[in-house]
Structure 1
Amino acid sequence: MERQNIDIQYTWDLSPIYAHHQDFYKDLDKAKELLTSLLQQKDLFLKDVNQFLKFHQEETMLSRYIQKLHCFAHLHCDVEPNNQEYQTMYAAILSFYDQVSSSLDFYTVMMIENSEKVTQYLQDEQLSDYRYTIQEILRQKKHVLSQELETLVSKTSTIADISSQVFDALRLDYDPVHIDGQEKTLNSATLTEFLKNKNPEVRKEAYHNFFKEYKKFENVYAATLSGVMKKDAFYADVKKFDGPLEASLFDDNVPTSLFFKILDKANNQYRPLFHRYNALKKKVLKLETMYNYDLNIPLVQYKTKKYTIDECFDIILDVVKIFGEDYVNIIKKAKEERWIDYYPHSGKRIGAYSSGCYDTNPYILMNFIGDYNSLSTMIHELGHSAHTYLSCHNQSPVNCDYRIFVAEVASTVNETLLINYMLEHASSPQEKAYFLYELLENCVGLIFRQPMYADFEHILHTWAKEGKPMSSQMITDLYDKKNAEYYGPEITMDEYVGYSCYYIPHFYYNYYVYKYTLGMTVALAIVSRLLNGDEKQKEAYLRFLKSGGSKDPVDLLKDALVNPLEDQLYDDAFHYFETILNEFENIVLDDSSSTLS
């Protein structure tokens, strides 16, 4: 399908950002004028409270222009990548952003050097909106170097990112998979479908053909992965952190104890629940030997209905009415004001996301095909967009941006509410089993798999910190061992499982994956309370959505009545998984439901 053939109502309307292209360049010129003004204030902005306020007001306005310009350009490029006018706009804003970053590198150092004066200025009510963000800057005092060293370190970033760039640039070709004598194309998009095939030879061939390519280039991948770990260890050391983990958690002001709490709950205390789930899969599928690549075989054969976009909105509006009229109206605005670009077409970016800022709508890119996954993706991304909308309409431009640490909460709450809605409206044991299975698989991916990834990543970072050499054999042997522990005794590890670590981009994100577990854990707690009619939880959750980035992420979650530092939150989440597993097990092992799998 070509974009011009799609009805305009199913494409997003970006004209509220810039109605005419010349408006883009007018704002870019205004942003450049602001940068010039800020540079002229370098030796003046700390002179008195009024100069200090003026500088920060202009810096905030500059940030707003950059975000708005970037949003307009990247959204257009993601749906019209061959349009050179938009590509020129995108290149222009990226270049300007680099210029801003390097030009204003004096700011943090000067703020730290004058921290006592800055703290005094913050008592002025004119600066109330800036207190939290500026206090966050002052918190860096121990880890900020001299101006000369900070400039030097910033200049190393392009070199330090080479490993990640090599990983992104690598493109592998895979031997085809044979089905009924015909060759089928194997790539990252088709792999999962092949692993769902009922024929064990198809599953094995797909898995082997895919990951033998990573084995072929294992030394290259080992060098890129170890390069990322060494980079993180280097910056942690230079910035005077105890190690890469502490450095990674610092920006969110999260204690390392939270990271290890998540790992302990998933990888030790509650892992037997996951082993039990895998044993159930083996039993239902009647496999004498079950390999790790067999785990994608659907346990429930149920064909879900197809949904139109209008039907999706009908369901979503029914699901989110639990939050009240204001939230429902945001979802209606998303449809009526064309925040969403729905259908896949030639050249369009794959996947889905929500993207917006203080001065734009929170737009959504999708690749809608009308299946349940499309419905689930839509309510997930609408969760992000509602969070952004409420934050931007209840916080100042300084405090509206929420951090990645809490970003997956709103989307996962919506997605979990949807599955519970589908379970409630299931018309047969087969349909109910299907959605229970979907929920179990979602939980597995987020509260079990991600902590396993985090454990593996932490060990590699520790090796880098200690200066330990990292050969491919060391890395793949470790990953093989971690997978064997993760899946349990009922699952046999394939010979290529160790090399599958090279396929996972999350290991290049510096301790990101544990946040998925946190998001799902918090979402399960919130959803269970909402469905039990807990009005205090609903009020606290809506306040959380309106809070943006006005506090530390942990404090925001505490305000939402889900304290991530407490054991109870994680215990409740894993017990919820156990409850679902019990219900699913009763259905699939019932003789009368033998047609489920």
Structure 2
Amino acid sequence: MDKIEKTKSRDMIEEKYKWKIDKIYKNNQAFEEDLKKVKNYVSQIGNFSGKFGESTKLLEFYKLDEKASRILEKLLVYAHQRSDEDTGNNEFQILRSKIDSYFSEFSSAEAFFIPEILALPEGTIEREIKELPELKMYEFALNDILKMKPHILSKSEEKLLAGVSDCLEAPGNIFSMLSNADMTFPNITDEDGKKVELTEVKYSNYIKSKNREVRKKAFTTLFNTYGKYKNTFAEALSSSVKNFVFQSKVRKYNNSMESSLMPNDIPVAVYTNLVATINDRLQASMHRYVEIKKKLLNLDELHMYDLYVPIVDVPKEHIEFEDAVKIVKEGLKPLGEDYLKIFQEGIDNGWVDVFENKGKRGGAYSSGCYDTMPYVLLNYNYELNDVSTLAHEMGHSIHSHYSRENQPFIYSDYSLFCAEVASTTNECLLINHLINKEQNKEKKLYFINQQLEQIRTTVFRQVMFAEFEKVIHESIENGSPLSGDDYCKIWHELNVKYFGKNMVVDKEIDMEWARIPHFYSDFYVYQYATGYSAANSFCNMMLGEEKDAVSKYKGFLKSGSSDYPIEVLKRGGVDMTTPKPLEDTIDTFNKLLDMLEN
């Protein structure tokens, strides 16, 4: 009888493969001492309410708030990462719960700050900055608050909106409960002829199955089940959009898209140009991809359920973690010796928690704060995909390292618009390296297809999502309500447009809109496409050995949130207000298609 290999407990993992969380706090007692300290600071914060017109009070508030925030961030990182090491450890779960609930108290304690800044007589902030040179550092942050003044309501109105925030978030919560808790899917037959219960997680595997009947059955079963709840999903999504439209009108924006983009100073044209540029290039890129995939899979008809099946099988490789580090460093050589040195220091000094252990949180992420290491959680499983994940998460962490080393605390984080750029740049550099050095034809084909799929799903697919969002928001804003059938019709027509004549757009796909949680975070998905396009541009500039490309890129990494994201990227050499980064990404896609075809 075969011996079942059990998941190791955490104490069985070698220390060199664990992150060094004890660098934050040696034990829980040290954690509790810092918690007392932060509570003392927070108790003093309320004393500043109503006093920002007095000399020095604004600067004193910022200094005290920073002291409290920096300790609180350390407490949050420690508690969360201890908890993620072993989700079954009650001691760590209590620690996490304690600091999470206290964080809400802290947010409430400083909630007066922005309304009171906005209520100050005009010219007060400018005068205080002139009188106190130390306050100059906060000028960008203060101007960022002041520019929102036309969209801030009276105190009583703001209080009223805050009071109904839970109600306004209800549609997303209903979607989550329906799709994650209440919905169940029928059984299907897997590749081995066994009856298995279909779930969302299992679907992602079955849709890639080499057995066409398996992937077809998974596809039809999943979307027919969603179809039974079409009207409920439609009502939830319409309510979410109506809530967002309502808030944008109340806050005096021209439309809901402007209300989403304007706080980060992103022109609406960035969004609309993104959709227009992709639409202009669909035939020469996406439609061609579908045609080539159909040929390579040797199919008379390409259906929606054939889209994710790999065009070539490559035998699984067993890649030791140390070898993964070498492979990634080879791929990242264009970034220069100092970048590679930081990367290796991170590996050697306890940034990374490498292997799965019993109770450890799944997936991968980058974390940390201003006064800690930029930690990385992995669940390394010796596969090529894990090598790519290492490059991606270290991209986030080294971005954080550069940002925190070069910016004061207040500007040390980077915006959501820029968040995926550094991680994706690393992935682009790595896959380029793997394609160029590979001699084995099948494996080279596999790498080319991997990058094509990443661009297809991160750029073309996300822009299709973004176009859907644009259409449904504009429809509801113009007073035209949408039913479940309307959503299905819009989604069907978008799929026909994006995939072209060589794709059979099966009727089941019409319900796919109901599966996408991001539609409840308005105008969010377009940032996947902009992030990838910016990363591709940085990658091309560095690989093309463009003058100062590497130093400009590192300038971007060092900028944090010291300026608006468009400006931060522009200084790095990438202008997202023009179509060029996206057009360059489509050109990369087309070159990969040439390689695939040849």
Q: Shorter-chain TM-score: which interval? A: over 0.9
- State the 1:454 CA deviation: 0.4
Match of 2:97 among 91, 101, 114: 91
Match of 2:584 among 535, 551, 572: 572
Deviations 1:560-597 (A, max 9, x none): 011111232222221121111111111xxxxxxxxxxx
Report the Cα distance in structure 2 between the residues aligned to 1:449 and 1:353, rounded to whole angstroms: 23
- Judged with a 3 Å threshold, the aligned counterparts in structure 2 of structure 1 residues 344 and 217 are, in CA distance, closer, same or farther, namely farther
- State the 1:411 CA deviation: 0.5
User: 1:466 aligns to what?
Assistant: 478
User: 2:430 aligns to what?
Assistant: 418
Match of 2:151 among 131, 134, 143: 143
- Judged with a 3 Å threshold, the aligned counterparts in structure 2 of structure 1 residues 289 and 465 are, in CA distance, closer, same or farther, namely same
Contact 1:35 1:100 in 2 (8 A): yes
| Matching of residues 147-162 of structure 1 within 5 Å | 147-162=155-170
Report the Cα distance in structure 2 between the residues aligned to 1:341 and 1:254, rounded to whole angstroms: 36
User: 1:259 aligns to what?
Assistant: 271
User: 1:327 aligns to what?
Assistant: 339
Cα-Cα RMSD:
1.7
Does residue 517 of structure 1 match 2:523?
no
TM-score of the pair, normalised by structure 1: 0.94
User: 1:41 aligns to what?
Assistant: 48
Deviations 1:341-361 (A, max 9, x none): 222344333321111110111
User: 2:33 aligns to what?
Assistant: 26
Contact 2:536 2:581 in 1 (8 A): no
SS of structure 2 residue aligned to 1:444: helix
> Mean Cα displacement is larger for which, 329-338 or 391-400?
329-338
TM-score of the pair, normalised by structure 2: 0.94
| One-letter code aligned to 1:452 | M
> Mean Cα displacement is larger for which, 167-176 or 110-119?
167-176
- State the 1:271 CA deviation: 4.7
Runs of at least 4 residues off by over 6 Å? none
Deviations 1:246-288 (A, max 9, x none): 1110221000001011111113334541011001111221212
Deviations 1:287-343 (A, max 9, x none): 122111111121122225221110011112222232222211221122112212222
- Judged with a 3 Å threshold, the aligned counterparts in structure 2 of structure 1 residues 243 and 129 are, in CA distance, closer, same or farther, namely same
Q: In the comparison of the two structures, how many residue pairs are matched?
A: 585
SS of structure 2 residue aligned to 1:177: strand
- Judged with a 3 Å threshold, the aligned counterparts in structure 2 of structure 1 residues 521 and 167 are, in CA distance, closer, same or farther, namely same
Match of 2:128 among 108, 121, 144: 121
> Mean Cα displacement is larger for which, 537-546 or 338-347?
338-347
Report the Cα distance in structure 2 between the residues aligned to 1:467 and 1:73, rounded to whole angstroms: 47
| One-letter code aligned to 1:314 | K
Deviations 1:356-395 (A, max 9, x none): 1101111111221111110001100000000001100111
> Please, which runs of 5 or more residues in structure 2 have no aligned partner?
1-6
Does residue 406 of structure 1 match 2:381?
no
- Judged with a 3 Å threshold, the aligned counterparts in structure 2 of structure 1 residues 421 and 77 are, in CA distance, closer, same or farther, namely same
| One-letter code aligned to 1:130 | Y
Match of 2:458 among 446, 458, 475: 446
Match of 2:22 among 15, 23, 31: 15
Report the Cα distance in structure 2 between the residues aligned to 1:575 and 1:402, rounded to whole angstroms: 28
| One-letter code aligned to 2:62 | H
Contact 1:358 1:392 in 2 (8 A): yes
SS of structure 1 residue aligned to 2:216: helix
| One-letter code aligned to 2:30 | D
Does residue 246 of structure 1 match 2:258?
yes
Does residue 230 of structure 1 match 2:245?
no
Report the Cα distance in structure 2 between the residues aligned to 1:450 and 1:189, rounded to whole angstroms: 20
Identity fraction in percent: 31
- Judged with a 3 Å threshold, the aligned counterparts in structure 2 of structure 1 residues 309 and 180 are, in CA distance, closer, same or farther, namely closer
User: 2:3 aligns to what?
Assistant: none
> Please, which runs of 5 or more residues in structure 1 have no aligned partner?
587-597
User: 1:298 aligns to what?
Assistant: 310
> Mean Cα displacement is larger for which, 175-184 or 136-145?
175-184
- Judged with a 3 Å threshold, the aligned counterparts in structure 2 of structure 1 residues 548 and 344 are, in CA distance, closer, same or farther, namely same
Report the Cα distance in structure 2 between the residues aligned to 1:421 and 1:14, rounded to whole angstroms: 33
Report the Cα distance in structure 2 between the residues aligned to 1:434 and 1:197, rounded to whole angstroms: 16
